[in-house]
Every structure is written in C-alpha cells, then in structure tokens.
C-alpha cells in the first residue's frame, strides 16, 4: 500500500467506519431494549395491572432508563462530537478535491447517517416516555380509581423519564434543531474557507 493511494484510503476508511458504525449499532441495540422495556410497561398497564402497582413499576423502569443512559452517555457524546467534526471536513474534502473520485468523498456520509440514526434512537426513548401519561389516562382501572390514576399520571409526568445525556433530556425536537443548526454552521465554515 503506497501512502496517498486509493487502496490505503479505502482500508483506513474501512477500519474507521467499522469502529464507529459498530459502536453506533451497539448503542442502537441498547436503545431498542430500553424502548422494549417501556413497551412492556405500557402493555402491562393495558392488560390490567392494579393501579397501586403502576407507580412502583414505573419507578423501576425510570431507574433502569437513567442507569442505562448514564452508562452510555460518554460514548454517545464522543460519537456525536466525531460526526459533528466530520461533517465540515467531509464538505471541505468534497469541495477542495474535485479531481478525486466523488464516490470516496461521500463515503463518510455513511458514518454520519449511522451516528445520526443512533442519536434519534436514543431520542425516541424520551418521546415514548412523554406519551405514557396519555396512555394511563385512557385506561380504565375500575370504579373509584380516578384519584389514584391522576396521582400516578402526575408522578410519571413529574418524573421526567427519558434518555439523558449529562443531565439533559434528549428529545427528537432537540436533535432536529441541532442537526439543522450544525449543518448550517458546517456550510458556513466551508463557504468561509472557500471564499476567504
């Protein structure tokens, strides 16, 4: 392999992409299991669990969500920073190296898409948690349980369960705003360098 050759570029990209996409896939699997846990809680509620047990089961679910998100938040942030820095570099490479094959220039887009998908998988957890109170309000737990049900709904709303990254609740709205904003910044950086 000759330095600067296309073969070396492909090998290095393959190694780099494999590591990043492997980590992203692992985090997606963790997020999918957390989503399944929320689905299992909702299924339990719909299938007739006693209203007195709902808050206790939600407390356990919320604790697992917090622990799991706290365990992978460093890796999630590292992947996010890597992709945030990769986007302007990828755009610069596309613009400055027009003589090279553009198919290679777009190859990092695979990594960007994988990590963005992972981030949205994490954000879906918070969105799913925010819809649990509406589900509990829609379920009938029998006569005379309206007061208890309202207490459980208030408890779930005030618990603020979801996927947290360094004490910040990750939602899809927040993620859409970040992706949009960073894309604008990356384009601005590229245009500033090109027309400087």
Q: What is the pLDDT of residues 160-185, one digit of tens each?
A: 888 999 988 989 999 999 889 988 88
* Alpha-carbon dihedral sign for residues 187, 192, 193, 194: positive
Residue pLDDT, tens place only, 10-69: 788 788 888 888 988 999 999 999 999 999 999 988 887 788 888 889 999 999 999 999
Continuous segment of H or E residues that includes residue 55: helix 51-96
Contacts of 99 (CB under 8 A, 6+ apart): none
Contacts of 1 (CB under 8 A, 6+ apart): 7, 8, 11
């Amino acid at each position: 392999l000759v330095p600067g050759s296309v073969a070396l570029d492909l090998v290095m990209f393959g190694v780099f992409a494999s590591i990043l996409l492997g980590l992203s896939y692992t985090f997606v699997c963790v997020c999918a299991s957390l989503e399944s846990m929320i689905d299992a809680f909702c299924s339990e509620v719909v299938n007739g669990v006693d209203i007195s047990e709902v808050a206790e089961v939600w407390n356990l679910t919320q604790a697992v969500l917090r622990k799991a998100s706290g365990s992978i938040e460093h890796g999630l942030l590292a992947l996010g920073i890597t992709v945030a820095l990769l986007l302007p570099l990828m755009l610069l490479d596309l613009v400055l190296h027009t003589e090279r094959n553009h198919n290679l220039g777009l190859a990092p887009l695979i990594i960007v898409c994988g990590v963005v998908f992972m981030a949205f998988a994490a954000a879906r957890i918070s969105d799913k948690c925010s819809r649990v109170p509406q589900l509990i309000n829609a379920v009938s737990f029998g006569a005379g349980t309206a007061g208890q049900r309202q207490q459980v709904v208030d408890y779930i709303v005030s618990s603020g369960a979801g996927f947290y990254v360094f004490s910040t609740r990750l939602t899809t709205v927040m993620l859409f705003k970040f992706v949009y904003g960073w894309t604008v910044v990356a384009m601005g950086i590229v245009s500033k360098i090109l027309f400087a």
